[in-house]
């Protein structure tokens, strides 16, 4: 399928019997993702978000719009690991399978703050909270993959900010020692730092669990609520007019993560060195265009450093550890 011709309404396959979870499903690209998936007959979609009133309204609106009653709300504050664990346990207690996991929620350029456990807020929400959720749900994802004809996908929403020039990232790319300080860098540098963490985390997860499809995406410059909550300072003010000129709708922004969750996994045709389909561990830009890793995103030592740090930090807060690792 030509990537530029991908249309979710036509090209997402039937999802009968499958269970889906979308973080940040009440707004922006997450809401558009839930809407698109709901038209393809899944068993259930967990719409996750921090504010109960917001997720209930979004779910009610989407049920009415799509005529799909299997959208259920799940309160989850990614800035609180206790909240993440509670939400994950609800899924584990109620489901025997989980087929699609969209790690979609995020914040961008926010004012200096710490999460409940004391992590820099953008890094804590965009990376640490999602890492805890993944660790908690991993046994269910792996057991689902053993079901005949199962095709389990994990899709992380990152950004091209992960490929930012050195001046827009901490020295060396990662500064994990500073992630207990709310103002270690400028808000936009901290955003790029958190999005780099999404990429490095996806690379390691894909390498350790090859039975799963794990991809990470840049959705494009999407006109969504995330940019209305920032406090990114002078750099953000300079970039905003450029972003406004490039904005796409939330439905357009959702296409690449829907592409990664839908099209066949990669195969390499005989006589070619170019695989077709979704490559686990890869980064994609709109729509489904492979972006090679370069600079800090390509450094294996950073992949391993982040994984070790994350594993140790999750263990401090009751994380169960990585299944089979």
Instruction: Decide if 44 is catalytic.
Output: no
C-alpha separations of 236 from 50, 214, 227 in Å: 25, 30, 10
Is residue 137 a contact partner of residue 199, using CB atoms and an 8 Å limit? no
What does DSSP say about strands 213-217 and 153-157: parallel, antiparallel, or unpaired?
parallel
Catalytic residue among 46, 119, 158, 224: 158
Q: 47 forms bridges with which residues in the sheet?
A: 22, 73
Q: Which residues of 144-178 are buried (b: 16+ CB within 10 A; e: fewer)?
A: bbeeeeebbbbbbbbbebbbbeeebbbeebbbbeb
Decide if 191 is catalytic: yes
Residue labelled with tokens 């005529």: 67
- Can 46 be counted among the known catalytic residues? no
Tell me, what DSSP letter sits at residue 266? P
What is the CB neighbour count within 10 angstroms for residue 305? 16
What are the strands, taking DSSP E only, across the chain? 19-23, 44-49, 71-75, 100-103, 153-157, 213-217, 283-285, 289-290
Which residue among 31, 44, 85, 195 is the active-site one? Answer: 195
Catalytic residue among 46, 119, 191, 284: 191
User: Please, are residues 90 and 44 in contact by the beta-carbon 8 Å criterion?
Assistant: no
Catalytic residue set: 158, 191, 195
């Amino acid at each position: 399928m030509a990537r530029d011709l991908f249309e979710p309404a036509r090209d997402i396959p039937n999802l009968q019997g499958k269970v889906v979870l979308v973080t940040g499903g009440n707004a922006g690209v997450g809401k558009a993702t839930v809407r698109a998936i709901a038209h393809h007959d899944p068993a259930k979609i967990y719409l996750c978000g921090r504010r109960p009133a917001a997720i209930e309204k979004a779910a009610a609106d989407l049920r009415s719009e799509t005529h799909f009653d299997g959208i259920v709300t799940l309160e989850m504050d990614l800035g609180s690991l206790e909240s993440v664990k509670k939400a994950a346990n609800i899924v584990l207690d109620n489901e025997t399978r989980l087929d699609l996991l969209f790690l979609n929620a995020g914040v961008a350029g926010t004012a200096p703050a710490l999460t409940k456990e004391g992590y820099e807020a953008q890094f804590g929400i965009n990376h640490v909270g999602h890492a805890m959720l993944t660790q908690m749900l991993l046994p269910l994802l792996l057991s689902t993959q053993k079901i005949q004809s199962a095709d389990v996908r994990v899709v992380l929403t990152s950004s091209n900010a992960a490929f930012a020039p050195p001046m827009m990232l901490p020295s060396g790319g990662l500064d994990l020692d500073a992630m207990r300080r709310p103002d270690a860098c400028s808000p936009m540098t901290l955003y790029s730092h958190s999005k780099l963490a999404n990429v490095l985390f996806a690379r390691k997860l894909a390498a350790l669990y090859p039975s799963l499809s794990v991809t990470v995406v840049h959705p494009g410059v999407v006109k969504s609520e995330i940019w209305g909550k920032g406090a990114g300072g002078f750099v953000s003010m300079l970039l905003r007019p450029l972003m406004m000129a490039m904005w796409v709708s939330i439905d357009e922004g959702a296409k690449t993560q829907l592409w990664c969750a839908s099209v066949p996994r990669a195969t390499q045709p005989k006589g070619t060195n170019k695989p077709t389909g979704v490559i686990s561990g890869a980064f994609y830009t709109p729509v489904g265009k492979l972006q090679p890793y370069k600079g800090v995103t390509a450094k294996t030592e950073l992949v391993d450093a982040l994984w070790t740090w994350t594993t140790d930090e999750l263990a401090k807060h009751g994380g169960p550890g990585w299944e089979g690792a």
